[in-house]
Structure 1
Amino acid sequence: MKKPDQVLKGSSIGMLTNQSAYGWKGDYHFRSIQKEYGLKKLFLPEHGLFAELQDQVSGSELHYDLGETQILNLYGDNEDSLFPGEEAFSGLDTFLIDIRDVGARYYTFLTSALYAMQAADQYQKSGKGRIKIVVVDSPNPAGRRIEGSPLQKKFASFVGVEGTLHRHGLSTAGLLEYYKDVFSLDLKFHRIKLYPKKSSSFLWVPPSPNIPAQTTCYVYTGLCLLEGTNLSEGRGTTRPFEIFGAPYIDDLDRGILEKLEEKQKGIFRLRSLKFIPTFHKHFGKVCGGYQILLDKPEKFHSLLFGLHFLKTIREEYPDQFEFLNGPYEFRSDLPAIQLLVGDEFLLGYLDGKRKYSEIKDYLEETERNWKKATRSYR
């Protein structure tokens, strides 16, 4: 692991970051980098520099004043905006990635980082100059727990890099170095450390508007699947992904509640409630639903819960529950639920073709394989 001065001093730097990179020298890291080393270009991910933009909303850099630093938006109005062109690296010799991941493959920040690394690789191959990659190795707020199966190629999209598990269990630098090797990118790769070894949840800075607390990261892998349905994933509440439901759910039905809790007894509980989203799905409507409370977060398997929850609600409310169609993160040829689940075997469970015990055994095997494959990146 290098010290910042060893790889940044005297460099022409482009930086992918947002407000989640905060605390080094008591400020946002982009400001500290700008003061210490100079910052030629700032690359913005989804949600904007200060996580002020909601999901699937293109950003504008017009309200940021960064002096002579050029701003490049990596989340615009079309799919092409996700991929920086080779010209984005003109005048640079260093690409600094300093952004907080939440541990799940759907979360788009490290996909943006991969796309930028691929563009930097092409820039080098065209003979225009060499780019070194420097990654600030921020800890994984969801911990080292692994969940899921490799994303199958036909489901690859901005919310899923082929071969990556739903919950990868790697640090930011660990996953990006894995991507560098798997995608054969001829880039010099350096890790630097700006964060303390232990980061308190009280110092949490939301990386995006709907990840308000570190606890959100523990449930996100499974509850993000609700984005592919007409269930509210809690956007428009103070606890998105921890509060969820729909107007048609009877939160007082104890039979349904017991079915939802039966698979991981003693690890979590569901608190039934009513809520009214202030925006997004079911805006202004009274929804029945639940808040998920984790008794043993280190043992909670979020993906298994999310799959079981969707299957149960689909069976209990067959006339009201729906999987959504239409564009999702710039793909319109497949439903969002397929892009998110990304695995025919698991999708078969949602369709009633597999048993819970089958997908549990299947995931235990895929998770073991991923742990072996990524051991050197941990």
Structure 2
Amino acid sequence: MTLLLHKNTLILTVLGMLTLPFSCGSNLQTKNTSDFAESEVIHDSISIITETKEIVVGASQIEKYLPVLKNKKVGVVANQTSRLDVKTMEYDSATKTESWIRIKEHLVDNLVAKKINVKKVFAPEHGFRGTADAGEVVKDGIDTKTGVPIVSLYGKNKKPTQQQLEDIDIMVFDIQDVGARFYTYISTLHYVMEACAEAEIPLLILDRPNPNGHYIDGPILEPQHSSFVGMHPVPVVHGMTIAEYAQMINGEGWLTNKVKCELTIITMENYTHDTPYSLPIKPSPNLPNDTAINLYPSLCFFEGTIASAGRGTDTQFQIFGAPSLPSEFFPYQFTPQANEGAKYPKFKGEVCNGLDLRDTEKLDKLNLEWLIEAYVGYGKKSTFFNSFFTKLAGTTKLQEQIEKGYTYKEIRATWLRDLEAYDSMRQPYLLYD
């Protein structure tokens, strides 16, 4: 065993199976002797495995966390993205050969099958299976597949109550984030950490990549504008994985009364912040593909304006528009209709004029040009923004700058000093290059 003290992080490099000690900010890293990558899909959930390096998410490193959960009463914070790769050998009777196969399985299903005592599943926005609308109240229930009770952490009950945690010895957090401040899974993380700290329950985080982890950008949230779509003084694009972000919440004293949550982290293998990563499962109903995920931090601002970001279409967060935008400057047309994740979309049944951004090159900074163009092209500028815009921006300054005619470059220049300070602040909590 090798112990490395890295600033505020205790990193354990361990060979073989072991029982993991819980300490604030401890992180387990074990390098396997072989890595596997998909090369050919055989069935919907099964694919051939070849020996090439790829990212191994925390949940797929089963041997590291099963000993921790054995004989414990376990709570799991999870949704549809909480999947792991189960690797096994398959015998082909026709060719009389064996080959590695990968089966993608839900974390909760896997834990239950391995006789782990999962007492409850805590579900974030969009629910346990990930089909609820943004902002829709998710109700408590029972998972029909496993029989495990589901507790909603969206609606009035955003933080687990002490009563809900009474029969829990340890909590597991495994949710795919997309690296934007207003994506509410990091707010759920905050409340789960706070509840666990108050109940003296350790939290095990199974880390996953940040698909927008290659940059940081945007205005820093001001405390007076804190809400569930932005709880911390970080930029719009924060550049951290869930586990790194959890360490920052602890280290910066952001939990109520500056309590500390006891963390153990299963880090990823073969990951850096610049490693391209295509999410195998859409993280929420309105982020259907890599393009939408990359454009989301820039286009979500339209949720605080008169324009639509494509909810009610199959190109959500890849287009924008409104009936009132002039078609000569915004020639792409779409008509929102009710669909999964958008039962009541903005401008339902109305033709919207806008822009199709699906061919945009991958962004490494926020793009406010589209927002500014829409503001300039809209006739009634006094009604372009609504009150939600300030919550998304985390400041009143951005709306004021746009209304005063600032260019995107002029606006971004006002963020740079704060971004430098934020970048310095986050460094002690980073787990990856």
Contact 1:231 1:321 in 2 (8 A): no
**Greater shift after overlay, 313-322 or 285-294?**
313-322
- Structure 1 residue aligned with 2:66: 5
TM-score, normalised by the number of residues in structure 1 = 0.82
3-state SS of 1:244 partner: strand
1:40 touches 1:68 (CA, 8 Å); kept in 2? no
Taking a change above 3 Å as real, the CA distance of residues 41 and 195 of structure 1, as seen in their structure-2 partners, is: farther
The answer to whether residue 105 in structure 2 is matched with residue 31 in structure 1 is: no
Equivalent position SS for 2:178: coil
Give the letter for the 2:160 counterpart. Answer: P
Q: Which residue of 1 aligns with 2:148?
A: 69
What is the rounded CA distance, in whole Å, between the counterparts of 2:270 and 2:195 in structure 1?
31
Alignment of 1:1-378 (within 5 A): 1-2=27-28, 3-25=64-86, 26-36=104-114, 37-62=116-141, 64-65=143-144, 67=146, 69-76=148-155, 80-123=156-199, 130-182=200-252, 183=254, 184-193=258-267, 197=271, 201=278, 204-253=280-329, 272-279=331-338, 280-293=345-358, 296-299=361-364, 301-302=365-366, 305-306=367-368, 308-319=369-380, 322-323=383-384, 325=386, 335-352=387-404, 354-378=406-430
C-alpha distance in structure 1 between counterparts of 2:277 and 2:233, whole Å? 31
Whether the 8 Å contact between 2:378 and 2:384 is mirrored in structure 1 is: no
Q: Secondary structure at the match of 2:357?
A: strand
Distance across 2 between alignment mates of 1:86 and 1:61: 16
- Residues 320/338 of structure 1: CA separation in 2 closer, same or farther (3 Å cut): closer
Give the deviation of 1:312 after TM superposition: 2.8
State the Cα deviation string for residues 272-295 of structure 1 (Å, max 9, x = none): 421111130111111111111455
What is the CA-CA distance between 1:195 and the residue it aligns to?
Answer: 7.7
In structure 2, what is the equivalent of residue 269 of structure 1? none
Superposition RMSD in Å: 2.3
Task: Give, as a single letter, the amino acid of the residue that structure 2 aligns with 1:226.
Answer: F
Deviation by residue 1:225-283 (Cα, 9 ceiling, x = unmatched): 11111201100111111111011223433xxx7xxxxxxxxxxxxxx421111130111
Q: CA deviation at 1:149?
A: 2.4
SS of equivalent to 2:210 = coil
**Separation (CA, whole Å) in 2 of partners of 1:193 and 1:35:** 23
| Cα distance, 1:56 vs structure 2 | 1.2
Retained in 2: the 8 A contact 1:145–1:298? Answer: no
**8 A Cα contact 1:204 1:213, kept in partner:** no
Residues in 1 aligned to 2:84 and 2:429: alpha-carbon distance in whole angstroms: 25
Mapped contact 1:17–1:99 kept (Cα < 8 A): yes
* Structure (1/2) with the larger strand percentage: 2
Q: Which has the larger radius of gyration?
A: 2
How many correspondences in the alignment?
338
Evaluate the alpha carbon distance shift between residue 324 and residue 296 of structure 1 in structure 2; reply closer, same or farther with a 3 A threshold: closer
Report the counterpart of residue 260 of structure 1 in structure 2: none
CA deviation after TM superposition for structure 1 residue 340, in Å: 0.6
Deviations 1:158-197 (A, max 9, x none): 0001202101110111111111222233222111147874
Question: Quick check: 2:217–2:237 contact (8 Å CA) kept in 1?
Answer: yes
For residues 226 and 349 of structure 2, the distance between their equivalents in structure 1, rounded to whole angstroms, comes to 34
Give TM-score scaled by structure 2 length.
Answer: 0.73
Give the Cα separation in 1 of the matches to 2:160 and 2:239.
27
Looking at structure 2, the residues matched to 347 and 323 of structure 1 have their Cα atoms a distance apart, in angstroms, of 10
Q: Which residue of 1 aligns with 2:39?
A: none
Q: Deviations over 1:63-113 (max 9, x none)?
A: 63254522211113xxx3212211121121211110000110111112012
- Unmatched tracts of structure 1, length 5 or more: 124-129, 258-271, 326-334
The one-letter code sitting in structure 1 at the alignment partner of 2:412 is K
SS in 2 for 1:42: strand
Please state whether the residue corresponding to 2:157 is helix, strand or coil.
helix
Alpha-carbon distance change, 38 to 63 in structure 1, aligned in 2, over 3 angstroms? closer
Give the percent of matched residue pairs that are identical in Structure 1 and Structure 2: 27
2:244 partner letter:
G
Paired amino acid for 1:146: I
Call closer, same or farther: CA 1:224–1:88 in 2, change over 3 Å: same
Q: Runs of 5+ in structure 2 lacking a partner? A: 1-26, 29-63, 87-103, 339-344
Higher helix share: 1
